[in-house]
């Protein structure tokens, strides 16, 4: 709904580091099923709100090259395989801020980033409104040979992502 989208855009803008410089905002192409369910392109609207607030052009450079099944309930590996070659980019240049509504495994962003960098972008960062928590607990770090370390918890993170909304 529109009110929730405005709130999400405000929260996303607060997550942007001051002084961070991008040349344009790029929305992740919405899955056709999600667009039909919502009746509008929420990610596109979010990207436009971010672009307006930061004075950045919104460039819809990414497109889905083929339909993909919904990624909901699928593991990271399966998501990556389903998205392999499913997203392409028109000619890209500069430092791009990719905007998405939610990330679970990072597979969608990886596919978008690969397409953008392959099309000439200098860099691609992600701004995401929500993060789906991992269903697996972080692995316990035994702390070195013989497991005599501090036993601290360690877990994979997406390139420095620490809170939602997030920029990575």
Residue 133's pLDDT is 64
Residue 155's pLDDT is 34
Q: What is the pTM of this model?
A: 0.71
Residue 19's pLDDT is 72
The ranges of the chain with pLDDT < 50 are 138-165
Residue 150's pLDDT is 35
**Integer CA distances (angstroms), 29 to 125, 140, 142, 155, in order:** 15, 36, 41, 29
- Reading the block at residue 119, the tokens are 């099309």
- Reading the block at residue 62, the tokens are 């990414």
Q: Domains along the chain?
A: 2-167 (3.40.50)
């Amino acid at each position: 709904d529109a009110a929730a989208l405005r709130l999400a855009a405000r929260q996303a803008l607060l997550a942007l580091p001051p002084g961070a410089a991008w040349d344009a905002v790029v929305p992740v192409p919405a899955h056709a099923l999600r667009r039909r369910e919502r009746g509008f392109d929420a990610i596109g609207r979010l990207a436009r709100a971010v672009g307006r607030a930061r004075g950045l052009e919104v460039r819809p450079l990414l497109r889905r090259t083929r339909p993909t099944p919904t990624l909901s309930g699928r593991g990271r590996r399966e998501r990556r395989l389903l998205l392999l070659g499913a997203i392409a980019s028109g000619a890209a240049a500069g430092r791009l801020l990719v905007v998405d509504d939610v990330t679970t495994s990072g597979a969608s962003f990886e596919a978008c980033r690969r397409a953008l960098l392959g099309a000439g972008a200098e860099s691609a960062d992600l701004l995401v409104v929500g993060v789906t928590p991992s269903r697996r607990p972080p692995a316990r770090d035994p702390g070195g040979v013989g497991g005599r370390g501090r036993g601290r918890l360690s877990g994979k993170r997406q390139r420095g992502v620490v809170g939602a909304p997030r920029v990575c």
